[in-house]
Amino acid sequence: MSGLNSLVGQIKNPRSKVYRRLYIKRREPGTGQYEDAWVELTDDVVKWGTIKKSVDSNKINQFKFSNITLTMDNSSGKYNDYNDENSLWFNYSDQQRTLVKIEAGFLYETKTNGIWSVTEYPSENIVYNGFISGDINIKGNNEIAIPVVPLTECFRQFSARRLTGWNSSLTASDFVEMLRDQQDGDGDYIFRPFFGDTSTGFDIQSTTVQYTNLNTSTAQDIIEATVWNVLEKLAEAENYVPYATREGTFRFVPRTLDTATVYHFIGVGGFSSYYGHTIKNVSWFGKRFNKYYSRVTVKWVDADTASSYEVAESDFRVRSDSSPWTLGERTISIENFWIPTATVAENIADSLFLEFSAIRREIEFSTSFIPHLDIFDRVLITYDPTLPTQNGVWDVYNWEDSTTAAQHDDAMIWDSSPGDGLKLNSEEFRLISIDMNLDTLECKFIGRE
Amino acid sequence: MEFLSQTLLQTTTQLFVSTNTITSDSIMNPDVRRQYVSSGDNSDLTTTTIRVTFDSTQTVDRIAIMETNAKQFNLFYNGVTANAFTLTSPTTTSQFTNNSATNLYLACTPVDVTSVTFDIKTTMTANSEKAVGYFYVGANELTFAKIPNSGGYTPIIDPKELIHNLSDGGTRRQTVQAKWSVKVKLKYITETFKDSLLEIYNEFTPKVFVPFGTGTAWDGILFEANWMGNFDFYKYADDATNAGFTGSIDLKET
């Protein structure tokens, strides 16, 4: 059984204390550098909004982090433009690109010898890192909506051609190191300020393939691209994932999936003294036909010849075990001319084929506040809302599994009830979408089989 | 039942603590569980000093110490130990030797001061770090000329909370913060008292409300409050105008 002095214990606790905190870092006038300390604005938040992160269903290495809109009380003019002397930004630079950090979690309070001790769960309590970017509109009711974008947006807001350091032997990891160490003409770092203002804010794992097409800032693949475009292409070619962690570290690392389950969601019909009951409802559950593809093509060379493609596809047979026959043929096409070899292109095709060639079940469900889970976490779900028939024994026990007619005849075979609409008994899913509503502290997950 | 001024301790720049400066602003946090706790002062031979200094001379006649473990302590003003406050209750001087109350509400003879010092010498459990949840220094602005009967006083702890209705019909309750909400109904009050209430109502600063600020066995209710809604004490309490006025006060913690 999980005690209250643990994260799982707090998640299942019927009555707990929770917190949400909002911090900003403004930019100094003149230098444009971020101030040293975070400024807390929690008390001014009227509406927190919803954080959403998900994985792109048609691309293997793309995480999507949502924007978030914070609604603040502006009755004292604190959130007016920086020219207004009531503004928090007065004597600082423009509100745009102000760093934003949101923390949320549980508070566990105990008292010993007259001294209160407060422990926060989880210990890594940052749920969103980003910066202000977009239209800031003051409403007539003295509220103001502050648009916040995720940290990786700084790469979308920078043209690749402005970078220095291009050369014909650049690897993907060299490129990310180039971003990490990129400076302006005065020697000030350009991207580090968004990621902790230190080189350790970048977690980069080495790659070896050299991209000769990245030899100069005026190269065809660079001249019109943003830094993020380049990152995405490289990540796809290397089977890497570019993303910012909740704590604000930028990672460029191979995509690896954990094999261990990290959490067990329990809903109606289930019981766990360790995890408690967390599922509020299941919105939908079923096989996702729109994520089924029987064929994957990866075009990795520009020339229009058969050897420019790597294809992974199911055999077509008029048989019940041939998915192109039973489900129809659907194709997903990838085009990336930065892929260095046919082998890499084949691996990409095979990875996508493995993921999407079988029709898999997905489930969307909402829970009470669970702040620590991440995309691709492997979880178990137990949910069985069917009420057993009064005095019945369905679901109680699989009495026997026999195929002999004699035993069928005497009606002693009581297998699991086929009438259950939805019955999940510790079934395994990977999380592919997580919504965290910070106003209601309700979480919504989508799991894929 | 009293309305007090806002606490005179408004910024951390006014505050000196002898150890653990980083948590000193907890003394200003009305959430009393966020205590200031000394660091390395876990000996009854070591004194922890908390001092509030004002930019200009201020009149002080109320001090509240909440969620403390202080047993022996001195309160004095202008940095001179001998400048003890003259208390009306529970003792006559603000030098305590054997305190056992976690919450203390001290009323004293008004005195003009530039600083207030709180020296904690020993703790209720011997040799513990010194802890204080909230420290109020201020002045009385209005003592109610009449207090309501039991039906006219409704104190409520009003939590901001999020309720999760779970799939098995159970509930999970998650509290963000709990604040005081108090309704006071008064009947047959004099015109003078009504005018005093109106003066409080018309001020554009919140007031600190203390319903029963007793020197001993204090209930620990003290909070900065907004007077919500309208002012309805112009209503006569009875058919005769000399019966006085009736109305209600709706207070919510800031």
Given A16, A109, A277, which is nearest B166 (Cβ)? Answer: A277
DSSP A159: B
- pLDDT of A321 reads 84
Q: Are A277 and A267 in contact (CB under 8 A)?
A: yes
Three-point CA angle B218, B220, B222, nearest 5°: 120
Distance (Å, whole) CA A151 – CA A132: 10
Query: What is the per-residue pLDDT across A339-374, written as a single tens digit (0 to 9) for each?
Result: 888 888 898 888 888 888 888 899 999 999 999 998
How close does chain B come to A120, measured CA to CA in Å?
Answer: 13
- pLDDT of A59 reads 65
Checking if the pLDDT of A278 tops 50, the result is: yes
Distance (Å, whole) CA A17 – CA A127: 17
Given A14, A109, A268, which is nearest B167 (Cβ)? Answer: A268
Two tokens, residue A94: 């423009």
- pLDDT of A56 reads 67
Compute φ and ψ for A369, nearest 5 degrees.
-65, 120
Q: Are B250 and B232 in contact (CB under 8 A)?
A: no
Numbered residues of chain B with Cβ closer than 8 Å to any chain A Cβ: 33-35, 37, 67-69, 102, 123-125, 128-129, 131, 133, 162, 164-176
| CB < 8 Å to A280, chain B | 164-167
- CATH assignment, B2-142: 2.60.120.260
The closest of B158, B49, B55 to B113, measured between CA atoms, is B55
* Interchain CB distance below 8 Å, B170 and A277: yes
* Interchain CB distance below 8 Å, A280 and B34: no
| CB < 8 Å to A367, chain B | 164
* Interchain CB distance below 8 Å, B174 and A18: yes
* Interchain CB distance below 8 Å, A368 and B174: yes
Residue B205: strand, helix, or coil = coil
Q: Give CATH 2.60.120.260 domain extents, chain B.
A: 2-142
Checking if the pLDDT of A383 tops 90, the result is: yes
Q: How far apart are the first and last CA of chain A?
A: 28
Three-point CA angle B202, B203, B204, nearest 5°: 115
Residue A223: strand, helix, or coil = helix
- pLDDT of A403 reads 56
Two tokens, residue A115: 């001294």
| CB < 8 Å to B164, chain A | 280, 367-369, 441-442
Distance (Å, whole) CA A298 – CA A310: 5
Query: What is the per-residue pLDDT across A391-441, written as a single tens digit (0 to 9) for each?
Result: 555 555 555 555 554 444 445 545 444 456 788 999 999 999 999 999 999
| CB < 8 Å to A13, chain B | 172
- CATH assignment, A17-150: 2.40.10
Q: Are A184 and A162 in contact (CB under 8 A)?
A: no
Q: Are A70 and A47 in contact (CB under 8 A)?
A: yes
Pairs of residues, one from chain A and one from chain B, whose beta carbons lie less than 8 Å apart: 89
Provide the percentage of residues in chain A whose pLDDT is more than 90: 55
> CA separation (Å) from A46 to A41, A71, A444, B180, B206?
11, 5, 22, 20, 20
The closest of A234, A44, A53, A32 to A130, measured between CA atoms, is A53
Query: What is the per-residue pLDDT across A141-192, written as a single tens digit (0 to 9) for each?
Result: 899 999 999 999 999 999 999 999 999 899 999 999 999 999 999 999 999 9
Residue type for position A441: L
> What are the residue boundaries of the structural domains of chain A, listed by start?
17-150, 155-254, 261-287+361-448, 289-356
| CB < 8 Å to B29, chain A | none
**Which residues are paired to A69 by β-bridges?**
A147
A155-254 has which fold?
Phage tail protein beta-alpha-beta fold (3.55.50)
> CA separation (Å) from A292 to A230, A353, A362?
28, 9, 12
* Interchain CB distance below 8 Å, A116 and B133: yes
Q: Are B224 and B208 in contact (CB under 8 A)?
A: yes
For residue B90, whether the previous peptide bond is cis, meaning omega lies within 30 degrees of 0, is: yes
How close does chain A come to B124, measured CA to CA in Å?
Answer: 8
Cβ-in-10-Å burial (0-12, 13-18, 19+) of B83 comes to middle
Distance (Å, whole) CA B166 – CA A290: 30
Rg of chain B taking only CA atoms, in angstroms: 20
The DSSP bridge pattern shows strands B171-189 and A295-299 to be unpaired
In this predicted complex, what is the ipTM?
0.82
- pLDDT of A355 reads 81
How close does chain B come to A40, measured CA to CA in Å?
Answer: 13
Mean pLDDT value across chain A: 87
Say how many C-beta atoms besides its own lie within 10 A of residue B231's C-beta: 15
Given A13, A15, A113, which is nearest B69 (Cβ)? Answer: A113
* Interchain CB distance below 8 Å, B102 and A369: no
Phi-psi region of B169 (alpha: psi -120 to 50; beta: other; left: phi over 0): left
- Residue holding tokens 């297998």? A415
* Interchain CB distance below 8 Å, A280 and B125: no
Q: Are B75 and B94 in contact (CB under 8 A)?
A: yes
Q: How many H helices and E strands in chain A?
A: 8, 23
pLDDT band at A388 (very low <50, low <70, confident <90, very high): low
Numbered residues of chain A with Cβ closer than 8 Å to any chain B Cβ: 13-20, 109, 111, 113-116, 118, 267-269, 277-282, 367-369, 383, 385, 440-442
Q: How far apart are the first and last CA of chain B?
A: 18
Given A18, A115, A269, which is nearest B37 (Cβ)? Answer: A115
Two tokens, residue A222: 């660079």
Q: What is the pLDDT along chain B (254 residues), one digit of tens a residue?
A: 999 999 999 999 999 999 999 889 999 999 999 999 999 999 999 999 999 999 999 999 999 999 999 999 999 999 999 999 999 877 778 899 999 999 999 999 999 999 999 999 999 999 999 999 999 999 999 999 999 999 999 999 999 999 999 998 999 999 999 999 999 999 999 999 999 999 999 998 899 999 999 888 899 999 999 999 999 999 999 998 889 999 999 999 99
How close does chain B come to A381, measured CA to CA in Å?
Answer: 13
Q: Answer whether CATH 3.30.200 is correct for domain A289-356.
A: no
Closest Cα in chain A to B254:
A43
| CB < 8 Å to A109, chain B | 33
- pLDDT of B189 reads 95
Average confidence (pLDDT) over A112-128: 93
Given A114, A280, A383, which is nearest B164 (Cβ)? Answer: A280
